[in-house]
Amino acid sequence: MGVSNEKNYICTAKNSMTKINFTPGPSQLYFTVEDHVRQAFKDGIPSLSHRSKAFEKISAEATEGLRELLNIPSGYYFYFTGSANEIWERIIQNLVEDKSYHLVNGSFSKRFFEIAQMLHKHPQKTEVEMGKGFDETVKVPTDTELIAVTHNETSSGVSMPLDAIYNFKRTNPNALLVVDAVSSLPFPDFDYTQLDSVFFSVQKGFGLPAGLGVWLVNEKCIAKAEHLVAKGISIGSYHNIPGLQAHALKNQTPETPNVLGIYLLGKVVHDMLRRGIKNIRQEAEYKATLLYQTLQNHNLIKPAVADPVFQSKTVIVAATGEHTESVTKLLLEKGMQPGDGYGSSKKTQLRFANFPTHSKEQYELLIDTLNSYA
Amino acid sequence: MGVSNEKNYICTAKNSMTKINFTPGPSQLYFTVEDHVRQAFKDGIPSLSHRSKAFEKISAEATEGLRELLNIPSGYYFYFTGSANEIWERIIQNLVEDKSYHLVNGSFSKRFFEIAQMLHKHPQKTEVEMGKGFDETVKVPTDTELIAVTHNETSSGVSMPLDAIYNFKRTNPNALLVVDAVSSLPFPDFDYTQLDSVFFSVQKGFGLPAGLGVWLVNEKCIAKAEHLVAKGISIGSYHNIPGLQAHALKNQTPETPNVLGIYLLGKVVHDMLRRGIKNIRQEAEYKATLLYQTLQNHNLIKPAVADPVFQSKTVIVAATGEHTESVTKLLLEKGMQPGDGYGSSKKTQLRFANFPTHSKEQYELLIDTLNSYA
């Protein structure tokens, strides 16, 4: 490429923050967020007392909106935390006396396992290499108290089929089944009655500024935490389940939370409700199909996850190999910011978030651009 | 009061979120925050990757700005958490093997003590009733590993004289001295060399949206956490000191943090640096003197903290007794939102934050209004 293109690259790279952001998270903001922030300032939300009725209303708007959007049955409760990392820790503290079991196939599922070790539990795992998935043949140790499944490995773009997840409940009815849906919700249409706990963070599929984790638990989780307390086991302090639950029932939080983040979550969830979760899911399917077909038919780039059964619909990873740098450059020139490959795959893969804020038109531009690279 | 005033009250009460907010936290936003948020959206900060060079720069801007503003010596490090509640927990996990010692004189210092209990340590305390303070005569048990001091009890408006705090270090050189400065910084001109750890949350004196805690530790704290690890004690997981420190040295965080919150903190700290910390502190002294004089000379309202030695300069509590409701009403009519008394004092006290964002003019209006109530 000549000097003029080089210049163009440098010039657009400087503005990379305002490009279409395909990084899996923090990702492109949901397109209504800036307007909601403006309104929030008009209404004094950023300095609102978290012990006011107005805050309780905001908190209820977020959790009741999520309940409707995701079709959550009764007997399940939402808690707010600082991050999904925090939820990993709270799950191990509150729901595991000694043994959790982890399906590890990437950096994030591995980290969940390591957190259990750091909290001096005795987690067990089945591990496969990055890019591989798990099916129904996985055998869970019979003394497992909790099965930790990562629905969508953000690092590798491997997703776990829902039936394979539910199967753990059928074959291990006494263990709590916990699903990390950090980079997949609101896309998956989970049957929550098959799951005991699910969690996500808002800066991915919900397109919000980072700094808020959302944790869903059922009555069995609450009972387990209380059981551990009764046995004299510490389950943490200000963010243990009994404390979170007592506050959640009043639409409050134990600490001063990210009030603005909770407000924005409620607003975006209601925008999604108006758009319709069915539409959002159909569009996600359409965009994913388009991109996987493009990668499948490309002569230089391929999907990083070969088996279609395990291909994530929300974080699509391309094996770009030696073309990584030049594909990145081309995309940046066209106003698109791809996500780097994760960790050791940084120079050989690119990741593309397929979240509700990424429009069909943006995906079509992405695909046209990838097709023009041949 | 007649019908027209009643109407006026209801009308202004509806807009209470846009009044001058004297609640001690979340409090009035620093007056530059909205502009910084607007710029942040222009620059793509709310969806910026926390693993980017741009984020590292933002993080460094906040911590280096704080270092300059507060005159922090070398060998001290800043960590970011979700809240000050979280820091209470992290302090106990990382810095206490068995025995912490707490000076309890209100709801927040008491909560710190209770968190140590919930984490199954064996904390000890000296407790005085709300509204009372501690002086240099307090005797600390000799086997204490950590002394927890609340510089400013947000619930009662009691502050601890700095010399009394430093005295703990002189008389207990082997214990770590930890100061909760949640509702006082950036006002106090601490000699940090006398302290091992200090923490605050951003929604009080820094006038920022809630959802971020800031934790300062020195090398002794890092060594203590490493000592506990070496002894086989769990010090938590993603937010333990060794992990926080390793990331802080790279201007990063272990988890995806509240990126926008860290950005705004850096911006407001630099606004304060331009204004000058000396000016900010002098103005705080002026406003506090004005309000305490008003309360002292008032025929119906008095300072809730009688002893001037213990009167907080940043959270000023008025004993409004039977006048609480009518004083509140009068203030609301004039466009001012007082903070309720805390807990059981809700109906007999009002609290007034005196933070850098509260101008002299606003304080003069407050004082004129209080004087008109007689």
pLDDT value of position A31: 95
Which of B6 and A85 is assigned the larger pLDDT? A85
pLDDT value of position B233: 98
Within-domain flag for A10: yes
pLDDT value of position B136: 78
Within-domain flag for A352: yes
Q: What are phi and psi of B125, to 5 degrees?
A: -150, 160
Q: Among B274, B302, B325, give the residue marking a domain's end.
A: B274
The beta-carbon neighbor of A260 closest among B92, B211, B255 is B211
A226 and A297 together in one domain: no
Mean pLDDT of A286-311: 96
Mean pLDDT of A180-197: 97
Q: How far is B237 from chain A (nearest CA, A)?
A: 5
Tell me whether B21 touches chain A (CB under 8 Å): yes
pLDDT confidence band for A136 (50 / 70 / 90): confident
pLDDT value of position A131: 86
pLDDT confidence band for A137 (50 / 70 / 90): confident
pLDDT value of position A4: 36
b/e burial code for range B226-239 (CB count within 10 A of at least 16 → b): bebbeeeeebbbbb
The stretches of A218-299 forming alpha helices (DSSP H) are 219-230, 241-248, 259-275, 277-297
Is the Cβ–Cβ distance between A296 and A288 less than 8 Å?
no
Is the Cβ–Cβ distance between A284 and A360 less than 8 Å?
no
Round to whole Å and give the CA distance between B119 and B146.
15
Tell me whether A14 touches chain B (CB under 8 Å): no
Which of A97 and B129 is assigned the larger pLDDT? A97
Within-domain flag for A28: no
Within-domain flag for B12: yes
Tell me whether A120 touches chain B (CB under 8 Å): yes
A61 and A7 together in one domain: no
Q: Which residue in this structure is represented by tokens 């140590």?
A: B116
Within-domain flag for A56: yes
Contact criterion met (CB < 8 Å) for A33 and B46:
yes
Residue A19 in tokens: 């490009």
* Mutant choice from A256, A268, A336 vs B, greatest count of B C-beta within 10 A: A256
Tell me whether B26 touches chain A (CB under 8 Å): yes
Q: Which of A323, A309, A317, A364 is nearest to A343 (CA)?
A: A317
* Mutant choice from B49, B79, B215 vs A, greatest count of A C-beta within 10 A: B49
B88 and B228 together in one domain: yes
Mean pLDDT of B99-122: 96
CB atoms closer than 10 angstroms to residue B25: 27
pLDDT value of position A355: 97
The stretches of B129-218 forming alpha helices (DSSP H) are 162-171
Is the pLDDT at B319 greater than 80? The verdict is yes
Is the pLDDT at B202 greater than 90? The verdict is yes
Within-domain flag for A264: yes
- Closest chain A residue to B121, measured at CA: A234
pLDDT digits (tens, 9 = 90+) for A146-164: 999 999 999 899 999 999 9
Range of the domain at B300: 3-22+276-372
Q: What is the CATH number of the domain that holds B364?
A: 3.90.1150.10
Which of B245 and B51 is assigned the larger pLDDT? B245
Q: How far is A299 from chain B (nearest CA, A)?
A: 31
DSSP letters, A56-95, are: HHHHHHHHHHHHHHHTPPTTEEEEEES-HHHHHHHHHHHH
Within-domain flag for B27: no
Mean pLDDT of A198-211: 97
Choose the weakest-confidence range: A33-37, A71-75, A127-131. A127-131
B46 CB neighbours in chain A (<8 A) are 26, 29, 33, 208-210
Mean pLDDT of A192-219: 98
> What residues does A316 pair with on adjacent strands?
A352
Mean pLDDT of A283-302: 97
> Number of Cβ pairs closer than 8 Å across A and B?
188
Mean pLDDT of A336-356: 95
B240 CB neighbours in chain A (<8 A) are 118
Positions of E strands within B26-145: 76-81, 100-104, 124-127
A216 and A303 together in one domain: no
pLDDT confidence band for B130 (50 / 70 / 90): confident
**Global pTM?**
0.94
pLDDT confidence band for B322 (50 / 70 / 90): very high
Within-domain flag for A354: yes
Contact criterion met (CB < 8 Å) for A47 and B34:
no
Over pLDDT 70: what percentage of chain B? 95
Contact criterion met (CB < 8 Å) for A82 and B85:
no
Contact criterion met (CB < 8 Å) for A261 and B34:
no
Q: How far is B140 from chain A (nearest CA, A)?
A: 25
Q: How far is B177 from chain A (nearest CA, A)?
A: 21
Surface of B (62-81) touching A: CB under 8 A: 81
| Angle between helix A277-297 and helix A360-372 axes, rounded to 10 deg | 0
Q: Among A248, A274, A300, give the residue marking a domain's end.
A: A274
Is the pLDDT at A11 greater than 90? The verdict is no
B342 and B212 together in one domain: no
* Mutant choice from A107, A255, A262, A337 vs B, greatest count of B C-beta within 10 A: A255
Tell me whether A48 touches chain B (CB under 8 Å): yes
The count of structural domains within chain B is 2
B219 and B269 together in one domain: yes
B207 CB neighbours in chain A (<8 A) are 47
3 state SS of A354: coil
Q: What is the CATH number of the domain that holds A118?
A: 3.40.640.10
Contact criterion met (CB < 8 Å) for A260 and B17:
no
Is the pLDDT at B7 greater than 80? The verdict is no
* Arithmetic mean of pLDDT over chain A: 93
Mean pLDDT of A83-108: 97
A320 and A231 together in one domain: no
B208 and B284 together in one domain: no
B145 and B155 together in one domain: yes
pLDDT value of position A1: 31
Tell me which DSSP letter residue B231 carries.
Answer: T
Mean pLDDT of A53-76: 98
pLDDT confidence band for A63 (50 / 70 / 90): very high
Mean pLDDT of B132-158: 92
pLDDT value of position B6: 34
* Mutant choice from A19, A47, A182 vs B, greatest count of B C-beta within 10 A: A47
Distance set, CA A294 to CA A20, A34, A289, A369, B53 (Å) = 19, 33, 8, 10, 31
B107 CB neighbours in chain A (<8 A) are none
Contact criterion met (CB < 8 Å) for B84 and A255:
yes
β-pairing verdict for A100-104 and A124-127? parallel
Q: Among A274, A305, A338, give the residue marking a domain's end.
A: A274
pLDDT value of position A348: 97
Q: How far is A48 from chain B (nearest CA, A)?
A: 6
Identity of the residue numbered A287:
K
CB atoms closer than 10 angstroms to residue B271: 18
Over pLDDT 90: what percentage of chain A? 90
Is the pLDDT at A12 greater than 70? The verdict is no
β-pairing verdict for A124-127 and A213-218? unpaired
Phi-psi map region of A276: left, alpha, beta (phi>0 left; psi -120 to 50 alpha): left
Is the pLDDT at B11 greater than 90? The verdict is no
pLDDT digits (tens, 9 = 90+) for B65-101: 999 999 999 999 999 999 999 999 999 999 999 999 9
3 state SS of B299: coil
A16 and A39 together in one domain: no
Surface of B (174-213) touching A: CB under 8 A: 201, 203, 207-212
B257 and B297 together in one domain: no
> What residues does B340 pair with on adjacent strands?
B350
pLDDT value of position A25: 79
Q: Which of A98, A192, A183, A207 is nearest to A145 (CA)?
A: A98
B204 and B341 together in one domain: no
pLDDT digits (tens, 9 = 90+) for B249-281: 999 999 999 999 999 999 999 999 999 999 999
Contact criterion met (CB < 8 Å) for B261 and A258:
yes
Mean pLDDT of B155-174: 94
pLDDT value of position A374: 83
Tell me whether A161 touches chain B (CB under 8 Å): no
pLDDT digits (tens, 9 = 90+) for A17-50: 578 999 997 899 999 999 999 999 999 999 999 9
